[in-house]
Chains A and B, each alone.
Chain A
Amino acid sequence: MQRTTMDLWVGFFVMAGIGALLLLALKIGNLGTYSAADSYTLVGSFENIGGLKVRAPIKSAGVVVGRVTDIQLNTETFDAAVTMNIDSRYKFPQDTFASILTSGLLGEQYIGLAAGGDEAFLKSGDKIMKTNSALVLEDMIGRFLFNKASEGNDEKK
């Protein structure tokens, strides 16, 4: 078995293929910026999650710190139980506030974390106590109309 030019070409081909796969993973995909390996889980329950989906980003001060990994309906409280995977580089105080926000007027929904002042940090598996539901457009319009109507009543008096 002697080495041939064919072997060289095949070697080159395999290198290029593996290189392309790595580029896909690191440069084009988000494997370089966020990996699931070193992360911890938090759970939050929301009255209404609106259009939040699995894989939605979790941001704090605009920085992506993790992703939503699971959404379930808690059939006892009829709340949505949202599981979040947070990068373990970021620690949050126990009185952190989680709210479902929308990026832009029509953009995707994400979870915003606003840190509180507690000395103790949330640990993996902990539940975020303070949550704020998604704003649902129909509710907002309904509330707005209701307010307008009651204002009108006030003026008549």
Chain B
Amino acid sequence: MVDSIWRLGYASRFFLLTLLKSGTSFRRFDLIIRELYFTGVLSLIIIIVSGLFVGMVLGLQGYETLQRFGAESAVGTMVALSLVRELGPVVAALLFASRAGSAITAEIGLMKATDQLAAMEMMAVDPIARVVAPRFWAGVISMPFLAALFSVVGVFGGYLIAVVLIGVDEGSFWSQMQNAIDFRYDIVNGIIKTCVFGVAVTAIAVFEGYDASPTAEGVSGATTRTVVTSSLVILGLDFVLTSVMFRGMS
């Protein structure tokens, strides 16, 4: 118990240090570009494919339920609302944690295990500024993009099922969706959620990597912890954010 509080304190201090030492990353943006490739571009496939399937399932299930009430034209609203408010941010963040978060932890952990971080320190280069901060910011930047892609592809998947396959009227599919989804309340709140998740997941990933014990077991344990901790944190934060954002809305 005392130990985990201790670790939490250390993690917070590490997070603050990362923020304080982020100057280098922004002066040398090529460092971030490089990491954007690893966290963002390499996560594209899993995000797009999952988004498509989640949207298609939502379309099928939504149609199945709504047609009992003769409201099948509202299937677009249902798909889009679920994606923009909840599934987009949450599922994209979960996928991001297991794809990019674990990779970040493993990479930093291995750099520690093979003395690369110590070598950097001995070369008078701060590993937090040079290794941790660029990965952190690349993750924070990628996350909203990935979640937005997830939602858009998901809506397209719903469209494929509902309109192309089942034959719901295309016009009412889009117009009901646009009527029901408010930019400020639904989309902006969804994006805020995504940004919070992005910060949480990458902060956990870089910390677990930096804090890993420098052995093979240490690194694999840290990678597992990244995925488990970030998944729990995402779901917990989602509850908190949802209850703050959407309380008292229609």
Interface of B is mostly: helix
Residue in chain A with minimal CB distance to B81: A28
How many chain B residues have a CB neighbour from A under 8 Å?
Answer: 35
B178 pairs with A18, CB closer than 8 A: no
Q: Mark A14-47, 1 if CB is under 8 A from B, else 0.
A: 1011101101110111111100100000000000
Residues from chain A with Cβ under 8 Å of B248 in the complex: 53-54
Residues from chain A with Cβ under 8 Å of B146 in the complex: 17
Question: How long is the Cα–Cα vector from A55 to B37 in the complex, in angstroms?
Answer: 40
Query: Which B46-78 residues sit within 8 Å CB-CB of chain A?
Result: none
A13 pairs with B178, CB closer than 8 A: no
Residue in chain A with minimal CB distance to B76: A28
Check: B120 CB closer than 8 A to any chain A CB: no
User: How close is A59's CB to chain B, nearest CB, in angstroms?
Assistant: 11
The segment from A3-11, A112-120, A128-136 found at the interface with B is A3-11
A20 pairs with B152, CB closer than 8 A: yes
Check: B187 CB closer than 8 A to any chain A CB: yes
A29 pairs with B148, CB closer than 8 A: no
Question: How long is the Cα–Cα vector from A33 to B202 in the complex, in angstroms?
Answer: 36
Check: A149 CB closer than 8 A to any chain B CB: no
Residue in chain B with minimal CB distance to A30: B178
Measured CB to CB, the residues of B under 8 A from A are 30, 33-34, 36-37, 40-41, 44, 80, 84, 142, 144-146, 148-149, 151-152, 155, 174, 177-179, 181-187, 190-191, 248-250
